[in-house]
């Protein structure tokens, strides 16, 4: 069954350089995204609650702009999750835009999942 593309935008009150470190490094991701993150080349291994690690590959990135990962289970598909930093040209407001894919009917659960993650990130950044 085809997955549904979902997109979210969260206002962030921090510097883009600092935010990018939390999005693109194992150390940064382990602060808010997963309990433990290990980076081996372009592969990131995420684990939660002492469970088995799940692999995601960094498939695209632009420093201080965005990172795009593909979960191992989605290899060979068009599915990914992307974390991108957007700065409004007029107001200089910074937002974190997320693109993800979820199973049809799981959109609300996916939204709550990301809201919780971003709340943790904002606390870590002092950007809440």
Any domain includes 108: yes
pLDDT of residue 119: 95
Any domain includes 51: no
Q: Look up the CATH number of the domain holding residue 68.
A: 3.30.530.20
Question: Which 3 state secondary structure label does DSSP give 8?
Answer: strand
pLDDT of residue 118: 96
The answer to whether residues 83 and 98 touch, using CB atoms and an 8 Å cutoff, is: yes
Domain count, the chain: 1
Rounded to whole angstroms, how far apart are CA atoms 72 and 84? 21
Tokens of 4: 């549904």
pLDDT of residue 65: 95
pLDDT of residue 17: 93
Provide the domain limits for residue 110.
Answer: 2-23+59-123
Identify the segments of the chain with pLDDT beneath 70: 127-128
């Amino acid at each position: 069954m085809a997955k549904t593309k979902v997109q979210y935008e969260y206002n962030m009150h921090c510097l883009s350089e600092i935010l990018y470190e939390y999005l693109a490094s194992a150390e940064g991701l382990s602060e808010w995204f997963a309990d433990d993150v290990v980076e081996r080349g372009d592969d990131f291994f995420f684990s939660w609650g002492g469970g088995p690690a799940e692999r995601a590959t960094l498939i695209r990135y632009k420093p201080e702009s965005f990172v795009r990962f593909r979960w191992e289970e989605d290899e060979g598909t068009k599915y990914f999750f992307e974390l991108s930093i957007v700065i409004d040209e007029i107001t200089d407001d910074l937002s974190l835009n997320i693109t993800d894919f979820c199973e049809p009917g799981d959109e609300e659960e996916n939204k709550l999942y990301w809201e919780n993650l971003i709340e943790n990130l904002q606390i870590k950044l002092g950007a809440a």
